[in-house]
């Protein structure tokens, strides 16, 4: 069974903007199915495309199956079957044995920056960079699938 163990954090905007970092890559992703127990996502990046099936999150863990698919087919799936979509720029930052994936959201989610780190176990420790803010692991509103339905621009903060 495929499994993802991931923790999610908000990012200090000012510290992120001041950081020297690698170039980010544009992602388009849409959802063919979103419900509290499972999602089916299609993602197109500059070099690849994926079909991803995710299960219910329990803590920082959930089932995940991800398959690379042809980019033209992924675009067709998004254009013809996507219920909701979002766009973001993702930047990968390596720190020791881990890689932080930092998403700078666009469109209706502009202004939101979220960092994720994948782990081998929920209790695994890792260094937290100074540009990381509050942890939001398990907070449903930060799931990408929920951001497509209830975008950041509509939140009362």
Looking at 47-130, list the stretches that DSSP marks H as alpha helix, in order from N- to C-terminal side: 71-81
Report how far residue 120's alpha carbon sits from residue 64's, in angstroms, rounded to the nearest whole number: 14
Would strands 49-55 and 38-44 be described as parallel, antiparallel, or unpaired?
A: antiparallel
Residue with tokens 């994720």, as numbered in its chain:
116
Spell 42-70 as b/e; 16+ CB within 10 A means b.
bbbeeeebbbbbbbebeebbbebeeeebe
* Catalytic member of 31, 37, 67, 142: 31
Catalytic: 31? yes
Report how far residue 72's alpha carbon sits from residue 75's, in angstroms, rounded to the nearest whole number: 5
Contact 56, 36 (CB under 8 A): yes
Residues annotated as catalytic are: 31
């Amino acid at each position: 069974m495929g499994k993802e163990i991931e923790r999610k954090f908000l990012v200090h905007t000012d510290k992120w903007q001041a950081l020297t970092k690698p170039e980010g890559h544009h992602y388009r992703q849409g959802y063919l199915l979103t419900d509290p127990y499972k999602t089916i996502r299609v993602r197109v990046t500059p070099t690849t495309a994926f079909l991803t099936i995710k299960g219910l999150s329990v803590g920082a863990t959930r089932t995940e199956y991800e398959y690379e698919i042809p980019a033209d087919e992924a675009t067709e799936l998004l254009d013809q079957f996507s219920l909701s979509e979002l766009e973001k720029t993702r930047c990968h930052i390596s720190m020791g044995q881990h890689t932080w994936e930092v998403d700078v959201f666009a469109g209706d989610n502009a202004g939101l920056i979220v960092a994720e780190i994948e782990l081998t176990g929920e209790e695994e420790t890792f260094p937290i960079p100074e540009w990381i803010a509050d942890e939001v692991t398990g907070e449903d509103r930060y799931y990408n699938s929920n951001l497509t339905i209830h975008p950041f621009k509509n939140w009362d903060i």
